[in-house]
Amino acid sequence: MSLLVVDGLEARHGLLPAVRGVSLALGEGERLALVGANGAGKTTLLRAIAGAHPVAAGRVRLAGADVTAAPAHRRVALGIALVPEGRRLFPDMTVLDNLRVASRHGRPGPWNVDAVLEAFPLLGPLRHRRASALSGGEQQATAIGRALMTNPRVLLLDEVSLGLAPQAVDAVYASLARLPAGATVILVEQDLARGLAFADRVICLLEGRAVLDAPAAEVTRERVTEAYFGLAAPGGGRAR
């Protein structure tokens, strides 16, 4: 049985469709890269899965349970954690306090402060520093660590490398490589090469629709780029 199933999901911004009938299934331990141009619906899809954006139609199921109507805090408790674009840390709280506050709303499990600091070694020396005093890469690492403190079954990462210097991106991805093999992740990433290297599977969104869904190892950069710009699979079907 798939761990996460999204079935015919639709979401809007006012009257404007943002996600149009997207379906996907994710097995435990699978890593999915979600790519597409700005405005393709990637962030809205992640937020809808996490319960942070209303669903207009369709269903979200976690381990067989329908969570479509569950609020965001309930989905966190059930095992869906979102690292939002822009990180959204508590700026006046320390790294440690940002981590600890998340554990109050999550599930029991192996992720605690020590485990997060081991996975993200750059945070160890910064544990008592306020979030507002961190660099972009350090804030991103803290935001991912905060999500892990809820012991998620599914980790949603939105725009991991956005606005970061290349060295900071390297450090964040080096930390992500330390996640256990069983971690289930959906990653929104503008850097196509990094996304394909990280993921087992790639889905490309175009104008809110999934136009490519394939194993990452079986697609070329050219094929993904064609889907990205709408040069493949006219009519919104999956690119083959």
Q: Tell me the pLDDT tens digit for each residue of 164-211.
A: 888 888 888 888 888 887 889 999 988 888 888 999 999 999 999 999
> What CA–CA distance (Å, rounded) separates 223 from 220?
5
Tell me how far apart the alpha carbons of residues 13 and 34 are, in angstroms, rounded to a whole number. 20
Residue-level pLDDT at 229: 85
Facing residues of 218 across strands?
none
**Residues in CB range of 112: below 8 A, 6 or more apart:** 103, 149
pLDDT at residue 87 in the model:
74
> For residue 103, what is the enclosing H or E element?
helix 95-103
Domain range annotation of the chain: 29-48+76-228
pLDDT attached to residue 225? 86
Tokens of 179: 């996640």
DSSP lists the bridge partners of residue 204 as 35, 212
Whole-structure pTM over 0.85, yes or no?
yes
In this structure, the strands spanning 184-188 and 16-26 are unpaired
Output the pLDDT for position 232: 53
The third-level CATH classification (topology) of the domain covering 29-48+76-228 is Rossmann fold (3.40.50)
Segments in the chain below pLDDT 70: 232-240
